[in-house]
Amino acid sequence: MAVATEQQESANFQEMTDEQKAIVEMVRSFVDNEIIPNAEEYDHEDKFPEPIVEQMKELGLFGVTIPEEYGGMGLDLTTYAMIVEELSRGWISISGVVNTHFIGSYLLMKFGTDEQKEHFLPKMATGEIRAAFSLSEPEVGSDVQGIKAVATKADDGNWVLEGQKMWVTNGLGSSVVFVLMKNDPKADPPYKGMTCFITEKEAWKESNEGEFAGLEIPPKIKKMGYKGVESTELVYSGYRCPPERILGGEENGLGKGFSQMMDALEVGRVNVAARGVGIAQRALELALKYSQERKTFGKPIAQHQAILFKLADMATKIEAARLVTRKAARMKDAGQRSDLEAGMAKLIASETGKEVVEDAFRIHGGYGYSKEYEIERLYRDAPLLLIGEGTSEIQRMVIGKKLLERNKI
């Protein structure tokens, strides 16, 4: 049997379609020219990167997965994951700006009424309005069924929302928040009494008035990393939500919020996995550059076996995490059940992000601890991925249960 030449193998193997290559190259150029050179400034000042976000609107990055009929690109989850990887390679906070927006658009596309889609998706596709979504509360994180925020139907047919939400990315700058509330606190099991409400608000306004009265956004939460993009609380106090703003409509959406949100988290985990791959990739790039420039004992440290082995392990972990992430995305695109694979992707990629960033930090030595070097920012940003969209411990629980479900004896 003839052995294929390297050129033949290159021609036969395609990791991306031509369209995906073009999109990824466009985003990578944007990241290299606009995000990486400016990320340190925005991170240091914890300032929202408005000029970068405006350019993202022009590139159509807020409508990547939104159908063309609503003004979006109509691309699949796999291509979106590739875009997120590139954005996260530049600065993880930038991917955070589009992450909750993406989940909001996914909820609308899958569960929204025709009126809800027509009202929100065109404006979301252009980035004219940005979306947030909210599950967590001050005393509730992974145990979503334990939320305390409630929605009560008033005599006029509107729903009155009461409760406090926590860790809402884009909580202040968004114009619409997909929020989970208990419409029946006595439901057994609790998830049957939970509903997703589409709550509109005025962007960048801490105290809403008029038709959006009853929603307050306290000052943003100060964080170790993941700066620039705001994380906030949301306080609903007598906020009135019309029944047509229940996700899917009151008839079909009431009491379905938990399952809708869990479905969205499945694609959200692929998104977080892509972010883990992206930040790890950037850490590897920095480590490769520094280890070839820094010399000890008369030669670059990259030539010392201890560093060489680190670089090898880092690159191998990244490649494995990338492949698992793309498999989960492709399965979802093909309409196959991918809850197990999404959990695996989120687990391996978020842990890889943390481990590779730490190894790059070690390779930089004392300079890694200095704010003069980019790796210091990555070291503060990476731990977020271990928590968001379900902790590593929760992922292991999900993976284990799904394995048993699929392999019953």
Is the same domain home to 105 and 232? no
Is the same domain home to 106 and 141? no
Q: Which of 99, 126, 153 is the last residue before a domain boundary?
A: 126
Is the same domain home to 381 and 270? yes
Q: Which tokens sit at 371? A: 């704010």
For the chain, the average pLDDT equals 94
**Residues near 102 by Cβ (< 8 Å), separated by ≥ 6?**
64, 65, 80, 267, 271
Is the same domain home to 330 and 228? no
The model's confidence at residue 10, banded by pLDDT at 50, 70 and 90, is: low
Q: Which tokens sit at 44? A: 């240091």
* Residue 11 covered by a domain: no
The model's confidence at residue 4, banded by pLDDT at 50, 70 and 90, is: very low
- Catalytic residue check, 389: yes
Return the half-sphere exposure (C-beta side, CA atoms, 13 A cut-off) of residue 217. 27
**How many Å apart are CA 287 and CA 59, to the nearest integer?**
30
Domain of 361, in residue numbers: 260-406
* Residue 57 covered by a domain: yes
pTM of the predicted model as reported, rounded to 2 decimal places:
0.94
Structure confidence by residue, pLDDT tens digits, 93-121: 999 999 999 999 999 999 999 999 999 99
Q: Where residue 267 sits, what CATH number does that domain have?
A: 1.20.140.10
* Residue 309 covered by a domain: yes
Q: Where residue 141 sits, what CATH number does that domain have?
A: 2.40.110.10
Q: Where residue 63 sits, what CATH number does that domain have?
A: 1.10.540.10
Residues in the chain: 409
The model's confidence at residue 145, banded by pLDDT at 50, 70 and 90, is: confident
Q: Which tokens sit at 309? A: 């082995």
Is the same domain home to 295 and 243? no
Q: Are 279 and 378 in contact (CB under 8 A)?
A: yes
Residue 7 above 70 pLDDT? Answer: no
* Residue 3 covered by a domain: no
* Residue 81 covered by a domain: yes
* Residue 192 covered by a domain: yes
Structure confidence at residue 9 (pLDDT): 46
Is the same domain home to 92 and 186? no
Is the same domain home to 281 and 393? yes
Structure confidence at residue 8 (pLDDT): 44
* Residue 1 covered by a domain: no
Structure confidence at residue 337 (pLDDT): 85
Short-list 87, 89, 93, 82, CA closest to 329: 82
Q: Which of 285, 389, 393, 405 is catalytic?
A: 389
Answer left, alpha or beta for residue 239, where phi above 0 means left and psi between -120 and 50 means alpha.
Answer: beta
Is the same domain home to 92 and 208? no
Q: Which of 82, 100, 126 is the last residue before a domain boundary?
A: 126
Q: Which of 235, 256, 277 is the last residue before a domain boundary?
A: 256
Q: Are 286 and 374 in contact (CB under 8 A)?
A: yes
Is the same domain home to 219 and 288? no
The mean pLDDT value for 260-281 works out to 94
* Residue 4 covered by a domain: no
Is the same domain home to 143 and 231? yes
The model's confidence at residue 11, banded by pLDDT at 50, 70 and 90, is: low
Is the same domain home to 239 and 363? no
Q: What is the CA radius of gyration of the chain?
A: 22
Q: Are 92 and 278 in contact (CB under 8 A)?
A: yes
Tally of domains within the chain: 3
Structure confidence at residue 141 (pLDDT): 78
**How many Å apart are CA 361 and CA 379, to the nearest integer?**
7
Is the same domain home to 227 and 283? no
User: DSSP secondary-structure letter at 150?
Assistant: E
